[in-house]
Amino acid sequence: MDAPRETLQEILMQTQAWAEAIHIMNDRQALIRDLDWGVYDQVLFIGCGSTYYLSLSAATLFQSLTGKISRGFPSSELLFNPSSVYPGNKGQTLLVAISRSGLTTETLQAVQNFKLDKKGTILTISNYEDSPLVKMGELNFIIPTGKEQSVAQTKSFASMYVACTAFSAIASNNLSILDNLMKLIPVGERILNDYEGLMGETGKNHDFQRFFFLGSGIQYGLACEASLKMKEMSLTVSEPFHFMEFRHGPISMVDEKTMVVGLLSDQQREYEQAVLLDVKKHGGHTLTLGESKADIEFDSGLPEMTRGVLYLPALQLLAYHRAVSFNLNPDQPRNLSAVVELEFSDPTNKK
């Protein structure tokens, strides 16, 4: 089989979508600042699959920067377990619905119910214009350059993550993050250029039979997404965990056939590296990403809250090259489609 090209090209060209996301968010700063932030008891980020993991990371970032209670949920939780999502005092919520296509059934139904119940304000982030989701939003951010031909999300995810970073910076009036976002572009391009060889070599090593991706704080959602890419593209056993949680059971799986990938932070690096040292003591292998003193070094000089997207390119390449090494097609992963559209019966009987 000839090597699939769509996924690889979308990974390699993703910084163009990052740049577009930054420009779009910068142009909409006034609209974000004009939101009546005082009325919202919480901010909810929702999505399905990759965009659920994006929501986890985005909610953590948003709360860290703004101090506003923020949580990430699968869209289906708003449908099936709304009492666990909305506060009992019936306060207003800012709902940030994230979807590459704007067509995903669970997200559309969750937003429709939210709108019917008048629970607050709807903001959408997506890659496709004129989708049903965009028509529901009161404030919409669309990054067309993030559109993809392949099923697995790579540049779309990254573009929407950058948009969430900019959104969080604007909402918190954190100008140091906002002003530095464009500096991500050359760093991302260098990572793609400098580390594709290492990712190819690691991905093609079939001695590794299972992968674990570790991240904490804003990196946890990114570790989840990296693990999902490994599953989707290469059909490899893969799981994400918070760093410190990995010792509480999962480390029993570690042996010489295990690769543990660590998304290192700045503040908690001492503890994170201690976990990875334990992995090595048990015969496992490690691969680290971080600003410095890591296998994949960003060397960006940017604030930690700015640079979350830099973890993505190399790990996407890792999944891609592993898939190709198994003669799989990462453009069309097994059993998957680009959009999940369902015949849906609303459990709350809303029309």
User: What value does the mean pLDDT of the chain take?
Assistant: 93
Cα 171–Cα 49–Cα 126 angle in degrees, nearest 5: 45
Domains of the chain: total: 2
Range of the domain at 201: 183-325
Is residue 45 within 8 Å of residue 62, measured between CB atoms?
yes
Residue 153 — very low, low, confident or very high, per pLDDT cuts 50/70/90? very high
Q: What is the DSSP letter of 1?
A: -
86: pLDDT strictly greater than 90: no
CATH number where 252 lies: 3.40.50.10490
Q: Which tens digits make up the pLDDT trace of 176-235?
A: 899 999 999 999 999 999 999 999 999 999 999 999 999 999 999 999 999 999 999 999
Percent of the chain with pLDDT over 70: 93
Residue 351 — very low, low, confident or very high, per pLDDT cuts 50/70/90? very low
Answer yes or no: do 163 and 192 share one domain: no
Give the number of other CB atoms < 10 A from CB of residue 292.
12
Three-state secondary-structure class, residue 158 = helix
Answer yes or no: do 123 and 193 share one domain: no
Structure tokens that stand for 83 in this block: 């009492």
Answer yes or no: do 279 and 265 share one domain: yes
The reported pLDDT for the residue numbered 151 is 84
Answer yes or no: do 196 and 254 share one domain: yes
83-92, 201-210, 305-314: which has the minimum mean pLDDT? 83-92
Quote the CA–CA distance of 198 and 200 in Å, as a whole number. Answer: 5
Answer yes or no: do 161 and 245 share one domain: no
Give the pairing of strands 139-142 and 92-99. unpaired
Structure-token match 């999300």, residue found: 153
Quote the CA–CA distance of 265 and 163 in Å, as a whole number. Answer: 21
Q: Which tens digits make up the pLDDT trace of 5-19?
A: 799 999 999 999 999
347: pLDDT strictly greater than 50: no
Domain boundary among 167, 182, 197: 182
What sections of the chain are H helices per DSSP? Answer: 6-12, 14-27, 29-33, 50-66, 75-80, 105-116, 132-136, 155-171, 175-180, 184-203, 218-234, 269-281, 312-325
Mean pLDDT of the 148-159 span: 94
Is residue 94 within 8 Å of residue 41, measured between CB atoms?
no
Residue 175 — very low, low, confident or very high, per pLDDT cuts 50/70/90? confident
The reported pLDDT for the residue numbered 318 is 98
Mean pLDDT of the 165-181 span: 95
Burial class from Cβ neighbours inside 10 Å (0-12, 13-18, 19+) for residue 231 reads middle
Q: Which tens digits make up the pLDDT trace of 266-286?
A: 999 999 999 999 999 999 999
Q: Which tens digits make up the pLDDT trace of 320-338?
A: 999 999 999 987 766 554 5
Domain boundary among 182, 201, 231: 182
70: pLDDT strictly greater than 70: yes
Q: Which tens digits make up the pLDDT trace of 21-60?
A: 999 999 999 999 999 999 999 999 999 999 999 999 999 9
Structure tokens that stand for 350 in this block: 């809303």
89-103, 131-145, 190-204, 235-249: which has the minimum mean pLDDT? 89-103
Strand partners, 240: 213
Answer yes or no: is 41 within a domain: yes
Mean pLDDT of the 113-132 span: 95
Domain boundary among 142, 165, 182: 182
Q: What share of the chain is helix, strand, coil (3-state, %, to 5)?
A: 50, 15, 35
The reported pLDDT for the residue numbered 326 is 95
Quote the CA–CA distance of 306 and 61 in Å, as a whole number. Answer: 10
Answer yes or no: do 166 and 286 share one domain: no
The reply to whether the predicted model has a pTM over 0.75 is yes
